[in-house]
Amino acid sequence: MDAAIRAFATHGVAGTSLDDLARTLGVTKQTILYHHGSKAGLVDAVFARAAADLIAVLDDAVVGEELGWSRVDAAVRAAFALAVRRPELVSLLREASRLGPPASDDAVAALRPLVDRALVALTDGMASGRFRRGDPRLVLVTAYAAVTGVVAEPELLRVVEVELDVRTAVRLRRIVLDVLAGLLRPELSSQG
Amino acid sequence: MDAAIRAFATHGVAGTSLDDLARTLGVTKQTILYHHGSKAGLVDAVFARAAADLIAVLDDAVVGEELGWSRVDAAVRAAFALAVRRPELVSLLREASRLGPPASDDAVAALRPLVDRALVALTDGMASGRFRRGDPRLVLVTAYAAVTGVVAEPELLRVVEVELDVRTAVRLRRIVLDVLAGLLRPELSSQG
DNA sequence: CGGTCCGTCTACCATTTGGTAAGTGCCGGT
DNA sequence: ACCGGCACTTACCAAATGGTAGACGGACCG
């Protein structure tokens, strides 16, 4: 299953044949079909599993964290840690996004609670003055784009000739946190 | 050719068969093979064309713009305008990134001058005090991720239930510009 | 020990894939 | 009038694709 996540993330769903996948798993294609019925079934299972992993990690990071900036900080740190440890999850998220409906419906449904809670947290924070005011949806989109973009594009990093090792990841995380601080922390006015 | 860009961007290279593409073009598959030799040849041509389009637009936007923030502003505005008008170019950039070497080598080579000039501009700006100091490569990566992420993920926008119309794009652009201002403008200290 | 359920395998299939070979019509040059 | 090249076609092909059918073997249970 982890191998399937990696394969779909690396080569895309269309670019991964059941034969290839079976070969890397040391089984035959029919074994896979036996367990998941069809390739579409496998895709659903893989997306569901990846979404569950994502949710588990982010939930775990945020729980117990007090409201406000420290929660944002914790979420970003968890996201970066996950992205460095399992970058294929981020790539798979993108693949699901590109496939669009109806293939992505399940993943969208699975992640919606997470998104909704983030939106509630942002909205509450803005209402109570912990965060700068703004459209929480657009802020969330920007934050997501910044976090996933820097870890899901190894080619991009190759163009600017940096490697995504732990040190670089920490520095990127600091930049992203700076960015989010500029967007959210109320004492800062970043509009010149 | 534009149809090929759209197809590769939408379904991915692996997910686009020459038969499908030929059908939407109203010709036969062999016509495509006649002009490009093989599918790999077509992919190369498509990537080269997309890179050329990207470079032309961004070059055009930046030329004549004075050094410093106004040039960043112009580049971001051009990038957003392009992303709204031709989102498939951004998607294709991602596809190239995912394919990795050697398929992406040409695209990487084509875009490198653009990247290098941006890095020089950032480095000079930091040295002369127009920009805050920092690693220009990482700043560029973050900026790229923020700009492309918000326009290349329609599913993401679907999750937060916003549509990428012109008004939304303008508001997202404003957020991204705020973000970059926080990263670059020297009078702001976003570290709390 | 016999049955039977479960996971896996071999064997096979129809369709689709990228690619080749061999024309066909057409246009410009001589 | 004729020839050559060009854009494009039809006709094919071998390999790969997702999927089906049925056999093999082992574990559990009576």
What pLDDT is recorded for position B118?
92
Mean per-residue pLDDT, B66-94: 90
Instruction: Provide the Cα torsion B77, B81, B86, B90; round to 10°.
Output: 20
Residue of A153, A14, A18 whose CA lies nearest to B7: A14
The answer, for A15 touching chain B at a CB cutoff of 8 Å, is yes
What pLDDT is recorded for position A6?
92
Mean per-residue pLDDT, A133-142: 89
The answer, yes or no, to whether residue B188 has pLDDT greater than 60, is: no
The answer, for A141 touching chain B at a CB cutoff of 8 Å, is yes
Mean per-residue pLDDT, B90-113: 86
With cut-offs at 50, 70 and 90, classify the pLDDT of residue B142: confident
Question: Are B46 and B158 within 8 A, CB to CB?
Answer: no
Are the beta carbons of A150 and B142 separated by less than 8 Å?
yes
Mean per-residue pLDDT, B44-58: 93
Average pLDDT, chain B: 88
Q: CA of A95, closest CA in chain B: separation in Å?
A: 10
The answer, yes or no, to whether residue B192 has pLDDT greater than 50, is: no
Quickly list DSSP for A28-87.
-HHHHHHHHSSHHHHHHHHHHHHHHHHHHHHHHHHTTPPSSHHHHHHHHHHHHHHHHH-H
The answer to whether strand D lies under 7 Å from the CB of residue B27 is yes
Quickly list DSSP for A95-149.
HHHHH-TTTTHHHHHHHHHHHHHHHHHHHHHHHHTSS--S-HHHHHHHHHHHHHH
Distance, CA of A158 to CA of A161 (rounded, Å): 5
Chain A residues closer than 8 Å to B140 by CB: 160
What pLDDT is recorded for position B28?
93
With cut-offs at 50, 70 and 90, classify the pLDDT of residue A33: very high
Q: CA of B179, closest CA in chain A: separation in Å?
A: 6
Q: CA of B97, closest CA in chain A: separation in Å?
A: 5
Q: Give the nearest partner residue to A149 out of B14, B149, B158, using CB atoms.
A: B149
What pLDDT is recorded for position B191?
46
Pick from A111, A132, A142 the residue to mutate for testing the B interface (most B CBs within 10 Å): A142
Distance measured from the CA of protein residue A37 to the C1' of nucleotide C1, in angstroms: 35
With cut-offs at 50, 70 and 90, classify the pLDDT of residue B166: confident
Chain B residues closer than 8 Å to A135 by CB: 171
Average pLDDT, chain A: 88
* pLDDT digits 0-9 by tens, A46-102: 999 999 999 999 999 988 888 889 999 999 999 989 888 898 998 998 899 888 877
What pLDDT is recorded for position A190?
46
With cut-offs at 50, 70 and 90, classify the pLDDT of residue B187: low
Sorted by where each begins, the domain ranges of chain B are 48-184
Domain B48-184 matching CATH 1.10.357.10: the answer reads yes
Q: CA of A34, closest CA in chain B: separation in Å?
A: 24
Are the beta carbons of A171 and B135 separated by less than 8 Å?
yes
Q: Which of A74-78, B20-24, B155-159, B179-183 has the lowest mean pLDDT?
A: B155-159
Mean per-residue pLDDT, B141-159: 81
Structure tokens at A134: 């703004």
Q: What is the pTM of this model?
A: 0.86
The answer, for B92 touching chain A at a CB cutoff of 8 Å, is no
The answer, for A144 touching chain B at a CB cutoff of 8 Å, is yes
Residue of A100, A151, A57 whose CA lies nearest to B157: A100
The answer, for B41 touching chain A at a CB cutoff of 8 Å, is no
With cut-offs at 50, 70 and 90, classify the pLDDT of residue B120: very high
What pLDDT is recorded for position A84?
85
The answer, for B179 touching chain A at a CB cutoff of 8 Å, is yes
- Say what percent of chain A tops pLDDT 90: 50
Mean per-residue pLDDT, B142-149: 85
The answer to whether strand D lies under 7 Å from the CB of residue A91 is no
